[in-house]
Amino acid sequence: MTKKILFGKPKGFFDVYDRRPGIKDSTHYCPGCGHGILHKLIAEAVVDLGMQDDTIFICPVGCSVFGYYYFDMASISVPHGRAPAVATGLVRANPDCHVISYQGDGDLGAIGFNEFIQAANRGENIAVFFVNNGVYGMTGGQLAPTTLPGQKTLTSPYGRSVETEGYPLKVSEMVAALDSPVYVERVALTSPKNIRAGRQALRKALTYMKEKKGFSMVEFLVGCPVNLKKSTKDTDEWIENSVIPYFPLKCFKDIAAERKPKQSAVGIYDKLKVKNSLLETEKIHPFDESKVPVPAIEGELRIKCAGFGGQGILSLGMLIAEAGHLQNLKASWLPSYGPEMRGGTANCSVVLSRESIGSPIVKESDVLIAMNQPSIDRFSADLSGEGLLIYDSVNIKFDNPLKRKAYAIDASLIAKDTIGDVRCANSVMLGAFCEIVAAIGEKSFINSIYNNFQGKEKVIEMNLRAFEEGRKSARKLMQS
Amino acid sequence: MSEKNKIMLRGNDAVIYGALLAGCDCFFGYPITPANEIAHSAAALFPMLGRVFLQAESEIAAINMVLGASSAGRRSITASSGLGISLKQEGVSYLATMDLPAVIVDIMRGGPGLGNLGPEQGDYNQVVKGGGHGNYRCIVLAPNSPQEMCTLTMKAFELADKYRTPVYVLADALIGQMIESVSLPEPVDKKPIPDWATAGTAKYRKNFITSIYLDYDDLEQVNIKLQDKYQTIKDNEQLCESYMTDDAETVIICYGIVSRIAKSAVNMLREKGCKAGLLRPMTLFPYPVDEIRRLEKKISSFLCIELSNGQMLDDVRLSMKSRIPLHFYSRMGGNLPTEQDIIKKYLSVQDKKND
């Protein structure tokens, strides 16, 4: 004779609650609590749908914080309101898992509404089960976003006033208005008929998640007899007579059939792919010291480039740094910051050295490249004793009071007339720097220009010409 | 010195290179200056390599997404600055209690409040001392170059997994913004999904990750276990760089961008014949107590320089056993000391000694 069990504990629950300290054979929920019914529906469904192994059950802050005591599933207990963000992390990291984000009305509707609505709007492949009992249960019965008008709680002792607290938050209506979610339904766990409808809704949400159709939410109207100070029977009647009229039971949205299953990238680390993409690229320079001699710089060569924003000052600095780098020097580049940005100059610091570099901020400079008047006024006094100055004589009048080595280059004019674009003045200055400082081979500067303007052939051609003109001009000055 | 795979990288970009080379699977973040380039690099490189990049709706969501991905057993990272880190603190406290590894990058800017975008070190207390609620600490690594932004981010992942704890990479706006030659290390070997994860297969069904312990004794045990972990970290993971300390009279203690300026200042002081040295903590928790105690026996004083109101100074003081003088110099609000400022302070300290 076969024995048929008509009623038994769903297989989604543990037989013995070993995750619970102390009592192992009963739950912590109060009599008549809605969580009990909903837990049972979930425990049945995950097993029936074959989802027990790959579902992670997220426990919120609230009475269901201990849900993991009972469900024979992997589980995480998360910060208040953040369940949909944690769920996002789980499914993005591992799109093959399923996540139930189980949340109460305070958790979802108040402190965590942004996490909830944003996860919904991204269409995360998760199922949110929203338990709406109109009150904060775990903290002892305070006003919830879904507390009904006139309903008394510990923090609305005279009844919820729509004047001061506004109307209850209609979560299902709000989330259904978004384009991304596929399924939104409100059910009530009161009468057997309503519970059957709730069971169907819950299974539908889980099925859509299994099919990777995206975001589903089911709102469950349930009771909290202890905090409502009502008997179980009165609680159900109150839900039917007072809550449902405000929060109508309805399927607000069910468009899963129109949506294709999500195909998310699986974040799995592939060592070879990383090596090929990051280390085997053109950006990586294979240094061969026998072919590329390291320039014989003594100590640090500290360079300041300064001019108007738009003159390509930062690129000029970067081209110098890159050229040094290409000859296996240590090179640092730092854009102007904070107070230095005041006073009409954009500037950057470049340091080149054979040894590791100290401060990347150039105050006292060995070389100053100045491209406008405020720059030379401001920085020429900071030149070191043997320091040298290269300046754009089109924009600058300079009478060299401290008698520094100074080179006047008609950079803007050369760029405009000879090259045809004033924006190339920085490359004219680069050519002059190459010739005057003579620490780094011209090949490295040329490669630096190629790297910097990758792919833009016309720009490269113009800047190379400008670079050559700058060298020519500097040679002339040095000969005279 | 073997220097392969050299590339010019911005500090913030180097963080993402380090993360990718360390086998990081997920980046979650929210825009904030001066940490933005980290997210920009992640947005470009993570999807290219089949990894996950997601711009979260807030700092709070980002850290909780990290919590989710870490629970799934994947290496994950988030990055922010000052005020954004303040918002993440709740999540970090959970991560620490749940024994979840994670890497958090803080590119410090001027504070408090909305502050400004300049470099500061005012996040020291909120990052090094725990920051969120409860008795937890995080390992904190303090890079001072784009090179270390890469290698210390890699190390952060290694330590996070080794100790199952959140690890910070704490830098400032200038270390984040500067570009320097970086030698990229080889990528790490692929790591298996850890046994404790909620990784979504039958093997992992038994796992649950929580931080609530209603029983006082149970929670006390959790706390004691955490303190034991921190003691092991203190015993084994102190990192620092000592420069010119062998014969030094006064040793300057500083980290991040200040240590770069101070190194130049020490070189200048040496040229003047002053016996200056530099101690740069590379781990802020654990603090390099052993090196401070070794040095204090041979030197005449310490000079602590910070871009804060002396938040690290407390740790120097707590580390010291002797009564040699500990001097302090600071700039705040996004300002930096120059080499000359440091030299002047150093010399004034020497004068006091000779009085």
Mean pLDDT of chain B: 96
pLDDT(B271) > 70: yes
Chain B interface mutation, best of A82, A330, A342, highest count of B Cβ atoms under 10 Å: A82
Predicted local distance difference test score (pLDDT) of residue B1:
38
Chain A CB within 8 Å of residue B15 CB: no
Cβ contact A92–B5 (<8 Å): no
Cβ contact B198–A266 (<8 Å): no
Query: Which of A87-101, A341-355, B18-32 bottoms out in mean pLDDT, i.e. has the lowest?
Result: A341-355
Query: Which of A344-358, A415-429, B225-239 bottoms out in mean pLDDT, i.e. has the lowest?
Result: A344-358
Q: Tell me if domain A34-258 and domain A294-479 are identical in fold.
A: no
Predicted local distance difference test score (pLDDT) of residue B159:
98
Segment A391-444, tens digit of pLDDT: 999 999 999 988 899 999 999 999 999 999 999 999 999 999 999 999 899 999
Segment A48-74, tens digit of pLDDT: 999 999 999 999 999 999 999 999 999
pLDDT(A286) > 80: no
Q: Determine phi and psi for A330, rounding to 5 degrees.
A: -75, 140
Looking only at Cα atoms, what is the longest distance across chain B?
A: 74
DSSP B183-221: EPPPPPPPPPPPTTS--SSGGGTT-EE-----SHHHHHH
Segment B35-81, tens digit of pLDDT: 999 999 999 999 999 999 999 999 999 999 999 999 999 999 999 99
Cβ contact B28–A89 (<8 Å): yes
Q: Which domains are seen in chain B, by residue range?
A: 6-236 (3.40.50.970), 240-354 (3.40.50.920)
B301 has which bridge partners? B250
CA dihedral A271, A273, A276, A278 (to 10 degrees): -80
pLDDT(A266) > 80: no
Indicate the pLDDT class of residue A4, thresholds 50, 70 and 90. confident
Q: What is the mean pLDDT of residues A309-330?
A: 93
Cβ contact B72–A97 (<8 Å): yes
Segment A368-385, tens digit of pLDDT: 999 999 999 999 999 998
Segment A30-48, tens digit of pLDDT: 999 999 999 999 999 999 9
Residues of A in contact with B179 (CB under 8 A): 318, 321, 332-334
Name the CATH topology of A294-479: Pyruvate-ferredoxin Oxidoreductase; domain 3 (3.40.920)
Cβ(A80)–Cβ(A60) below 8 Å: yes
Task: Extract the tokens encoding B67.
Answer: 């919590």
Mean pLDDT of chain A: 93
What distance lies between CA B30 and its chain's CA centroid? Answer: 19
Predicted local distance difference test score (pLDDT) of residue B353:
66
How many alpha carbons lie under 13 Å from residue B66 in its C-beta half-sphere? 36
Residues of B in contact with A53 (CB under 8 A): 200-202, 205
Predicted local distance difference test score (pLDDT) of residue A387:
94
| CATH code for the part of the protein at A34-258 | 3.40.50.970
Predicted local distance difference test score (pLDDT) of residue B350:
87
Question: Which segments of chain B are extended strands (E)?
Answer: 6-10, 26-29, 52-55, 76-80, 102-110, 116-119, 139-141, 166-172, 179-183, 208-209, 240-243, 250-253, 276-281, 283-285, 301-306, 326-330
Predicted local distance difference test score (pLDDT) of residue A6:
74
Rounded distance, CA B326 to CA B303, Å?
Answer: 6
Which of 78-137 (B) contact A at CB < 8 A? Answer: 90-91, 94, 116, 118-119
Task: For residue B234, give the 3-state DSSP assignment.
Answer: helix
Look up tokens 């061969």; give the residue. A288
Predicted local distance difference test score (pLDDT) of residue A296:
85
Min Cα distance B355 → chain A (Å) is: 32
Neighbours of A247 (CB within 10 A): 23
CA dihedral A344, A375, A295, B148 (to 10 degrees): -30
> Which percentage of chain A shows pLDDT scores above 90?
86
Predicted local distance difference test score (pLDDT) of residue B44:
97
Q: What is the ipTM of this complex?
A: 0.96
Predicted local distance difference test score (pLDDT) of residue A287:
65
> Which percentage of chain B shows pLDDT scores above 70?
99
pLDDT(A289) > 80: no
Task: Extract the tokens encoding B315.
Answer: 């740790």
By CB atoms closer than 10 A (0-12, 13-18, 19+), residue A186 is: buried
pLDDT(B192) > 50: yes
- Helix (H) / strand (E) element for B314: namely helix B313-319
Predicted local distance difference test score (pLDDT) of residue A430:
98
Tell me the domain boundaries of chain A: 34-258, 294-479
Predicted local distance difference test score (pLDDT) of residue A294:
84
